[in-house]
Amino acid sequence: MASARQEARESAPADREIMVSRVIDASRELVFEAFTEVRHLSRWWGPEGFTTTTRSFEFREGGVWDFVLHGPDGTDYPEWITWTEIVPPERIVLMHGESRDDPDAFESVLTLEPDAATTRVEMRTVFATRQQRDQAVEKYRAIEAGKQTLNNLAAYVAETLQKGEQG
């Protein structure tokens, strides 16, 4: 199984894939549980300062989590998640979009691997095309709107300084 998984990992083109992982000091069952109910998910979904409002939630294969993500700057983002595969406590596959039948929805595969008393959580997202990946990166970049504003400001300042040096 390990070689098959490795093969899959190698065959996924790097320019269409984004992988994020974390080792958590807890049992796999407990980490898995944090993905299964709104009362858990709402406590950690999104970076610091983000909150969620759930319209509907049904954690099962074919079930949907329909919610709104609230940014720290007050912007709302509609989110629509559908689970396509649930294997407790080791694997969750979900489609992530903005609404039902979102043509730009993308798939994320979450795997939970035990390592002694800890659990390694890995989220691999493979986009259909590189363009779709860039689009998602751009969307999430925009979500962190306050930070973007600051970055634009920094770019402006750097430019001003450069002009000052030349002039």
Partner 1 sequence: MLLRAGERPVTEVAVELGMSQPRASKHLRVLREVGLVRVRGAGKQRLYGLDARGLRPIHEWTGGFERFWAESFDRLDTYVQDLKRTRQEE
Of positions 94, 104, 123, 128, contacts partner 1 by CB under 8 A: 123
Quote the least distance from Cβ 45 to partner 1, whole Å: 6
Q: How many CA atoms lie within 13 A of 49 on its CB side?
A: 10
Q: Does 165 bind partner 1 (CB under 8 A)?
A: yes
In three-state secondary structure terms, 68 is: strand
Pick the closer one to partner 1 by CB: 7 or 155: 155
CB within 8 A of 10, min separation 6: which ones? none
Quote the least distance from Cβ 4 to partner 1, whole Å: 25
Pick the closer one to partner 1 by CB: 7 or 19: 19
Q: Does 68 bind partner 1 (CB under 8 A)?
A: no
Answer for the pair 113, 119: CB distance below 8 angstroms, yes or no: yes
99, exposed or middle or buried, with CB in 10 Å at 0-12, 13-18, 19+? exposed
Pick the closer one to partner 1 by CB: 29 or 61: 29
Two tokens, residue 122: 């890995």
The CA distances from residue 78 to 42, 68, 69, 85, 102, in Å, are 15, 5, 6, 22, 11
Pick the closer one to partner 1 by CB: 99 or 160: 160
Q: Does 105 bind partner 1 (CB under 8 A)?
A: no
Q: Report which of 14, 6, 17 is spatially closest to residue 106, judged by C-alpha positions.
A: 17
Q: Does 90 bind partner 1 (CB under 8 A)?
A: no
Question: Is the peptide bond between 89 and the residue preceding it cis, with omega within 30 degrees of 0?
Answer: yes
Binding residues among 41-60 for partner 1 as defined by CB under 8 A: 43-48
Q: Does 24 bind partner 1 (CB under 8 A)?
A: yes
| Site residues for partner 1 per CB under 8 A | 18, 20-22, 24-26, 30-31, 33-34, 40, 43-48, 121, 123, 125, 136-141, 143-144, 146-148, 150-151, 153-154, 157, 160-161, 164-165
